[in-house]
Amino acid sequence: MNRDNGFESQRASMVDYQLRARGIESPLVLDAMGRVAREHFVPKRMRECAYDDGPLPIGAGQTISQPYIVALMTEALDLEGGEKVLDIGTGSGYAAAVLGCIAGAVFSIERIRELADRAAGVLAAEGFDNVEVLCGDGTMGWPEHQPYDGIIVAAGAPAVPDSLKHQLAIGGHLVIPVGSEYSVQSLIRVTRLAEDEFRTEDLGSVRFVPLLGEQGWS
Ligand code: SAH
CATH number for the domain spanning 61: value is 3.40.50.150
The CA distance from 84 to 79, in Å, is 10
Q: How confident is the model at residue 162, as a pLDDT?
A: 97
Q: Is residue 213 part of a domain?
A: no
Q: Is residue 182 part of a domain?
A: yes
Nearest CA to ligand 1 atom 16: 89
Catalytic residue among 65, 163, 186, 218: 65
Q: What is the DSSP letter of 28?
A: H
Q: Is residue 214 part of a domain?
A: no
Q: Is residue 216 part of a domain?
A: no
The CA distance from 66 to 95, in Å, is 10
Ligand 1 pocket: which of 90, 106, 178 to mutate (most atoms <8 Å of CB)?
90
Contact assessment for residue 33 and residue 65, using Cβ atoms and an 8 Å cutoff: no
Mean of the per-residue pLDDT values of the chain:
96
Q: Is residue 156 part of a domain?
A: yes
State the average pLDDT over residues 61-80.
Answer: 98
HSE of 71 in the Cβ direction (CA atoms, 13 Å)?
30
- The answer, yes or no, to whether residue 54 has pLDDT greater than 90, is yes
Q: Is residue 180 part of a domain?
A: yes
Using DSSP bridges, classify how beta strands 56-59 and 62-64 pair: parallel, antiparallel or unpaired: antiparallel
How many domains does the chain fold into? 1
- The answer, yes or no, to whether residue 26 has pLDDT greater than 90, is yes
Q: Is residue 136 part of a domain?
A: yes
- The answer, yes or no, to whether residue 2 has pLDDT greater than 70, is no
Q: Is residue 218 part of a domain?
A: no
Look up 108 and say whether it is catalytic.
no
In this prediction, residue 1 has a pLDDT band, given cuts at 50, 70 and 90, of very low
- The answer, yes or no, to whether residue 119 has pLDDT greater than 70, is yes
In this prediction, residue 140 has a pLDDT band, given cuts at 50, 70 and 90, of very high
The CA distance from 199 to 173, in Å, is 9
| Ligand 1 pocket by Cβ (under 6 Å) | 62-65, 88-89, 91-92, 94-95, 109-112, 115, 137-139, 154-155, 209, 211-213, 216
State the average pLDDT over residues 29-44.
Answer: 98
Query: Which residue range is the domain that position 66 belongs to?
Result: 5-206
Q: How confident is the model at residue 180, as a pLDDT?
A: 82
The number of residues in the chain equals 218
Q: How confident is the model at residue 123, as a pLDDT?
A: 98
Ligand 1 pocket: which of 176, 211, 215, 217 to mutate (most atoms <8 Å of CB)?
211
- The answer, yes or no, to whether residue 183 has pLDDT greater than 50, is yes
State the average pLDDT over residues 93-105.
Answer: 98
- The answer, yes or no, to whether residue 181 has pLDDT greater than 90, is no
- The answer, yes or no, to whether residue 132 has pLDDT greater than 70, is yes
81 burial level (CB within 10 Å; 0-12, 13-18, 19+):
exposed
Q: Which of 175, 132, 127, 141 is nearest to 155 (CA)?
A: 175
Q: Determine phi and psi for 199, rounding to 5 degrees.
A: -115, 140
- The answer, yes or no, to whether residue 179 has pLDDT greater than 80, is yes
